[in-house]
A = this chain, B = another copy of it.
Amino acid sequence: MYFASDNSAPVHPKIMEGLARANEGYAGGYGGDAATAHVRDMIREIFEAPDAAVYLVATGTAANALALASHVDPWQAIFCHPSAHIEEDECGAPEFYAGGAKLLLIDGPDGKIDPERFHAKAKITGQLGVHSIQRGALSVTNVTEVGTVYSLDEMRALTTIAKEYGISTHLDGARFTNAMVALDCSPAEMTWKSGFDAVSFGGTKNGCMGVEAVVLFDPDKAWEFELRRKRGGHLSSKYRYLSAQMEAYLTDNLWIKLAKHANAMADLLAAGLKDIKGAKFIHPQQANMLFCGWPRSGHKMAQAAGAMYYAWPEAEHPEKGPSDELLTARLVTSWSTTPQDVERFLDLIAG
């Protein structure tokens, strides 16, 4: 019963097998191996983007910060939601990589940037000329940090405004596939067809060991990205082991199967929670992460049985209090969550 984070799950066996297969003989370093070329072609095909530049890095923070830095100048703004990972969870990596660029926060319900507020802020950003931070990039996270999913129309609304104001567009897809299967759309629809210039395409949270692809739909950004990646210490010497993960991940639709499973487990969890007396969802459950409150008594039972998850937003559960008090938690499912895990957990919290 581990619902703390999808990055606490193990690596899927098919990906371990891919790593083992890659471990034969010598291979050129720094991406000069055959698997890397193969992966690039696979991603271009999957994204229907034959000219895209494709790079692999080991962490999501690196993917986001490098992608953004390649699209903004130090005196420009990155527009994002206050709950965005780049604002809340990366210790200022975007500012570091982008030479001191500023994150401008655009709020909106359910973890989504409100288009009207974005429009209003985009319009006035830079209005004092040289005195102002200038417009730079928009970063949209899908699945959002509160587990909701932007629809294609919602993403399109934001990128349309961005383009009107000459703002580059980035999709933080740490949970890309969970969103994509929730939307039942294609990778191209999720990205460039929705107006995105660059995407962080996550693998780690969905069964890989540690690999994220950055896909730049504007190949003119490629060389700058490569230099930034090296300079940031993110060019792996034994690159074949990044490629091998991604290759296995993309083969036989493994990536899609894993995300569908994770989402299905969250659906199961949500369905069960709805039956718990007093349970209250903070945000709609749409992919593999949900935020829900239920009575303290259920928390006690679950935790006594070893269930792992984060109270949200509190730092920790108060030990004492009325047993019917509602306490909120974040629950995340992954490729390795089982229906048995979910059912046992629901039984426990139902008391």
Contacts and interface: CB of A to CB of B under 8 A. Distances in A.
Interface of A: 2, 4-5, 7-11, 16, 19-20, 23-30, 57-63, 65-66, 73-75, 88-93, 95-103, 127-128, 130-134, 204-205, 209-210, 224, 226-238, 241, 308, 315, 336
A99 B99 contact: yes
18 contacts: A2-B26, A9-B26, A11-B241, A16-B23, A58-B210, A62-B232, A62-B234, A73-B224, A74-B92, A74-B95, A75-B227, A88-B132, A89-B128, A90-B231, A91-B130, A130-B226, A131-B230, A232-B233
A237 B204 contact: yes
Q: How many copies does the complex hold?
A: 4
Given A92-B101, A209-B241, A7 B29 contact: yes
A227 B91 contact: yes
A127 to B, nearest CB: 6
B10 A90 contact: no
A299 B165 CA distance: 32
Contact of A28 (B8, B27, B101, B232): B8
Contacts of A227: 73, 75, 91, 130, 134
A308 to B, nearest CB: 7
Contact of A99 (B100, B230, B315): B100
B11 A26 contact: no
A204 B29 CA distance: 12
B27 A11 contact: no
Nearest to A33: B8
B59 A128 contact: no
A235 to B, nearest CB: 7
A238 B204 contact: yes
A303 to B, nearest CB: 15
B128 A88 contact: yes
Contacts of A134: 227
A132 B89 contact: yes
A131 B90 contact: yes
B102 A95 contact: yes
Given A131-B230, A232-B232, 19 more contacts: A8-B28, A58-B236, A61-B230, A62-B233, A73-B224, A75-B91, A88-B131, A92-B101, A92-B231, A93-B230, A93-B231, A98-B100, A100-B100, A130-B226, A130-B229, A134-B227, A204-B237, A210-B241, A232-B233
B75 A231 contact: yes
B28 A11 contact: no
